[in-house]
Amino acid sequence: MKSKKAKKPEEVEVSNATEVSNAKPVAKKKTDKKTIENHKLAAAHHMEAAKHHLDAAKHYEAGHYEKAAHSTVLAYGHHAIAGEFLNDDAKHHAQTLKQTNYHF
């Protein structure tokens, strides 16, 4: 069973509940574009992971434990990939703050 690739950042659907406004966000700097892309890619992988978790639950309910385990591993893989995008974004923010000499 092959898993589908995660959607591209521009294809990620965001529910109305999480939208702050209907206006399109304007990336102020090139750094903002990278942050936006990282968040969209992480979200795409989390949504793909959620699908695999739901598949795993269905397989467990049906008593198909091997299929359930397979879906679970796929879900964990997508969570790991999402985490890589979030880590990349955290590094990016740290570098940006260092360059601006921002101190907490």
CA angle 95, 96, 99 (to 5 degrees): 85
Q: How far is the C-alpha of 88 from the C-alpha of 41, rounded, in Å?
A: 11
Within a domain: 3:
no
Please give the tally of structural domains in the chain: 1
Q: What is the pLDDT along the chain (104 residues), one digit of tens a residue?
A: 455 555 555 555 555 444 444 555 555 666 688 889 999 999 999 999 999 999 999 999 999 999 999 999 999 999 999 999 999 999 988 888 887 776 65
Within a domain: 50:
yes
The confidence score (pLDDT) of residue 8 equals 58
Residue 78 tokens read as: 């997508």
The confidence score (pLDDT) of residue 80 equals 97
Within a domain: 9:
no
Residue pair 38/68 in contact by the 8 Å Cβ criterion = no
